[in-house]
Amino acid sequence: MAKRIKLCLVYRDMWQSSGKYQPRVDQLKEIAPVIVKMGCFDRVETNGGAFEQVNLLYGENPNKAVREWTKPLREAGIQTQMLERGLNGLRMFPVPADVRRLMFKVKKAQGVDVVRSFCGLNDYRNLELSIKYANEFGLISQAALSITHSPVHTIEHYMEIVDKYVEYGAKEIGLKDMAGIGRPVTLGKLVKCIKEKYPQIVIQYHGHTGPGLSMASVLEVCKNGADIIDVAMEPLSWGMVHPDVIAVRAMLLDAGFEVADIDMNAYMEARALTQKFMDDFLGYFIEPKNKICTSLLLGCGLPGGMMGSMMADLNGLQDAINMALRNHGQRELTQDELLVKLFNEVQYVWPKVGTPGLVTPFSQYVKNIALMNILAEAQGKPRYSSMDKNMWDMILGRCGRLPGPLAPEIVELAKEKGYEFFTGVPQDNYPDELPKYRAMMEERGWDMGEDEEELFELAMHERQYIDYKEGRAKMNFERSLEEAKKKAAAQRKTKSPEEFKQAMQEMVLEKHPQSFAVEAPVSGQLFWELAVGEKSMEKPIGTQYKAQDILCFIQTYYGQEEVRVPMDGMLVMAMAHQGDKVQKGDIIAFLK
């Protein structure tokens, strides 16, 4: 009898890998019955990392969104699945244990069935509590391996981790091929090893299509015993996202597997609805480059979802690098040459800093080290001249145990700086915090919510939750959307940067007659915040400034330039985002 392969629609990750926002709750409720009608999915990824933050950012209660979104799917017998980042929970930095435990209680009550937990370092200690709490509250615990390709990441390496996950009580193993660079045959061998040792364990494969290997990988893992495959659907499949369900099903049927039929009328309806959501507002925040595959990702191993931000970083520092090269009598680099140089530097740096899995946030840390090394080299400085606290936390073991050894020069540099290496359990660095957040809610008169879900949101996403509760999030989002629409319209009508600049000035002056523009005094990379946190972005609309207050910073080849406002004013429109490259004379923002 042919083996049946189940399919999981990663509707959350489709949006996450494409752009900034997730659909609103009314949109999720609209498409849920259509997804059910398609008839081919045993699972749907409904929520998890980033989902709740972006709901908060546009003023929507994520708890209500999760409950409404999961309900029709579960009533139809479809399992709902979420993604969490182990030690980091649903955010980009570590979470206290009591908040992590509350998350599993809340998500079970909200209708989540399966929790996929992962650690970019594959430090099984960071997932021990995730597995424990999932089992405690009756969820299916899926412990994921962060897949990459290196001499360190061998089948034996992964199997040692699988052994610990099974020992902790994981019911499933996920293969999270976040950059799509897992080699198909090796992935097949890994699946075979897991199934031979633990035949009762369910295996689910999640592979992005960025470098082009994912379809071959799907076939290999299925031939070797995988049970569930993650898929996407048009208009958000392929590119940096995931393979389309139609293509995956056709390939697996040809290989002799049993796969559920697709109601094509329902598929087309779901496709049209997704496009409608993009046309409504989501498409204004989607990076067009994320629709394109590139085999260049195979060399550096960086996740496809990073390409947009990486190119912005590269563009922002290109002038500084070339200026430094000119000053040293060397030839300037084109963007393509600089891109190849960056990929090569990532390949060089990655094993030097312990070969962490290149997934958020460690992929950003490694890329940033490489980029700053290129600038340092151009300036005649040694490598590793500029590394911030986050990079050092990874190197020193505060985020978990690195998969590979550190290079001697990195160890020596840490000693020179007086840094201490941490060998304990990372969770021990973060004491419980729920009592603090309970007191905060009581003081403000805020309800803890059904199953304490509002308490959970505050504790997990403090800054975004407070902005949501106090109405700033919705106001800021509506302004941001209005500006995005006008900006898109202006770009369609104008033919040159000068015309676009003039059009934007006229648009803003029409709405805010007393407004004035703040221009970039130099060329470089713009930073609204230097202490980059969970969500670094432009300052909220309505922020008040006094004359000579710092508006933002521009990173140049010689250092950081402060951009100050010339007179008292209120921010009415931001023209650049965190990390954008700006040229001297570009309008950064309008104040009134």
Residue 1 within any structural domain of the chain: no
Same domain, 534 and 417: no
Residue 323 within any structural domain of the chain: yes
Tens of each residue's pLDDT in the chain, 592 residues? 789 999 999 999 999 888 878 999 999 999 999 999 999 999 999 999 888 888 888 889 999 999 999 999 999 999 999 999 999 999 888 999 999 999 999 999 999 999 999 999 999 999 999 999 999 999 999 999 999 999 999 999 999 999 999 999 999 999 999 989 999 999 999 999 999 999 999 999 999 999 999 999 999 999 999 999 999 999 999 998 999 999 999 999 999 999 999 999 999 999 999 999 999 988 888 877 778 888 877 877 777 656 555 666 666 677 778 888 888 888 888 888 888 888 889 989 999 999 998 887 788 889 889 988 988 888 888 999 888 888 899 999 999 999 999 999 999 999 999 999 999 999 999 999 999 999 999 999 999 999 999 999 999 999 889 999 998 888 888 877 887 777 777 666 655 656 666 666 677 777 777 788 888 887 777 888 765 443 444 466 788 898 778 888 887 655 677 888 888 889 988 888 776 777 777 888 888 8
The 3-class SS string of 37-55 reads HHCCCCEEEEEECCHHHHH
Same domain, 34 and 175: yes
Residue 274 within any structural domain of the chain: yes
Same domain, 420 and 557: no
DSSP classification of residue 396: T
Q: Which amino acid is at 578?
A: Q
Same domain, 398 and 443: no
Q: How far is CA 31 from CA 13, 276, 534, in A?
A: 16, 11, 30
Spatial separation of the C-alpha atoms in residues 64 and 270, rounded to whole Å:
22
pLDDT at 152: 92
The residue from 265, 291, 317 where one domain ends is 291
pLDDT at 500: 63
Where are the strands (E) in 124-224, listed by range? 140-146, 172-177, 202-207
DSSP classification of residue 405: P
Same domain, 408 and 556: no
The residue from 267, 291, 315 where one domain ends is 291
**What is the domain-level CATH number for residue 543?**
2.40.50.100
Q: Residue 146's beta-bridge partner residues?
A: 176
Q: What sign does the CA torsion over 489, 20, 42, 261 have?
A: positive
Where are the strands (E) in 53-147, listed by range? 79-84, 114-117, 140-146
3-state secondary structure of 205: strand
- Residue the block writes with tokens 């521009």: 554
Residue 73 makes CB contacts below 8 A (sequence gap 6+) with 32, 35, 36, 44, 46, 80
pLDDT at 509: 72
pLDDT at 535: 40
Same domain, 86 and 155: yes
Concatenate the DSSP letters of all residues of 456-502 into one string: HHHHHSHHHHHHHHTTHHHHHHHHHHHHHHHHHHHHHH-SSHHHHHH
Q: Is 140 exposed, middle or buried (0-12, 13-18, 19+ CB in 10 A)?
A: middle
Same domain, 384 and 271: no
Same domain, 489 and 390: no
Residue 476 within any structural domain of the chain: no
Residue 297 makes CB contacts below 8 A (sequence gap 6+) with 179, 180, 181, 210, 211, 303, 304, 307
**What is the domain-level CATH number for residue 217?**
3.20.20.70
Same domain, 274 and 183: yes
Domain that holds residue 464: 431-469
Same domain, 489 and 542: yes
Same domain, 423 and 436: no
pLDDT at 536: 40
Residue 267 within any structural domain of the chain: yes
* Total count of domains within the chain: 4
Same domain, 72 and 101: yes
The residue from 229, 257, 291 where one domain ends is 291
Residue 301 within any structural domain of the chain: yes
Residue 515 within any structural domain of the chain: yes
3-state secondary structure of 232: strand
Residue 475 within any structural domain of the chain: no
Where are the strands (E) in 160-221, listed by range? 172-177, 202-207
